[in-house]
Amino acid sequence: MGKIHTRKLSSTFLIGLFVLAGSAVLIIVIIWLGASQFLQENVLYVTYFDSSVEGLNTGSAVKYQGVPIGTVKEIEVAPDGKLIEVVMQVEKQVAISDSLRVKAEMSGIAGGKFLQMYFPDNMQMAEMYPKLNFQPPYQLIKSSPSGIQEIEIAMKEVLDNLRRIRFYDISNQTIAFLESSSKFFNNPELYDIVAKIDSSAVSLHRLMRNADTSDIIDNVELTSQKLLQIAVELEYFTNNLNNQIENLDMAHKVDNVFIQLDSAIIESRKVIDGLGFRTESLLYGLNETIEDVKITNKQARKSLRVVSDNPSQVFFSEPPPKEK
């Protein structure tokens, strides 16, 4: 009986010692993790959005070109009652400049968001940030539209540019130019002059072929009179035609037609280039989202496998590496 009692006491003592040791290790790990976060030097920055930030929460990641550099500390309505104020806690070594922008991006298919810092290539997008009428509490990092908002802005620009193209005026001026050209070439006086010139050429040919000395003088005089008459009529027709052309203002209309066509082509090219750039940016953001989902799924399967194979490793293993 004495031996059994001694064994029970030893077993209880070992169990208690194991529990105390495990608790001590757990407390040390918690303190170590908390101290490392507490001792890490961070700087507070603020940004403002004029659109919905649904999906962005306190603790959401702040990244620079995909690399985590901080977290979201506070989200609340700005002092003006219109904008959304987001306070960020960013690592001290990150260099912040006035050209840096921050935008809200999707972090996964579940609807979560994170803040992405970057230097925009499109200067138009870089200038599309909310204007403030109050003093921000921390250093300001200007916001910019998200990938989805860039697509919406591009579509609005497409519609605006199409509305600015004066299709009706271009059509009317083109029709007027064609009508003026048709009247010019179908003018009966032009055909009469051509016919008279042809008749004079035939008379000269006959004169040279049948060179009879008795009739040469008469034929030359007759031909000269016809040529003189043709010259007078041609001068009259030319003056009349010049007056008609000046009244029709064909040169000005032709210039207007080609100017309008050039403007339409240039505007269309700008629209296509802008839409292609924003579509490419959106596809790049979607590709990053898919990669994040794959990494998260892989890490979850790895963690479940470790807990299933060796539960004690949860307490005694090394801390996980920092997320990249």
Single out the residue of 113, 110, 141 nearest to residue 52, CA to CA: 113
> Which positions of the chain have pLDDT values less than 50?
38-39, 214, 314-315, 324
DSSP 120-181: -S-HHHHT--PPPSS--SSEE--B---HHHHHHHHHHHHHHHHHHS-HHHHHHHHHHHHHHH
What is the rounded CA–CA span in Å between residue 2 and residue 260? 111
pLDDT tens per residue across span 273-316: 665 665 566 556 656 656 665 666 566 566 656 555 555 554 45
Q: Across the beta sheet with 84-91, what order do the strands follow?
A: 101-106, 113-118, 61-64, 67-77, 84-91, 42-49, 139-140
- Look at residues 75, 21, 22, 66 and name the one whose alpha carbon lies nearest to residue 46: 75
Per residue in 155-196, pLDDT (tens digit) is 777 777 777 776 677 777 777 777 777 776 676 776 677 676
Phi-psi region of 156 (alpha: psi -120 to 50; beta: other; left: phi over 0): alpha
What's the pLDDT at 63?
92
**For residue 195, which amino acid is it?**
A
Q: What is the 3-state secondary structure (H, E, C) of 279-311?
A: HHHHHHHHHHHHHHHHHHHHHHHHHHHHHHHCC
Can you give the pLDDT at residue 172? 75
> Whole-angstrom Cα distance, residue 232 to residue 227?
9
pLDDT of residue 315: 46
- What is the per-residue pLDDT for 48? 95
E strand map for the chain: 42-49, 61-64, 67-77, 84-91, 101-106, 113-118, 139-140
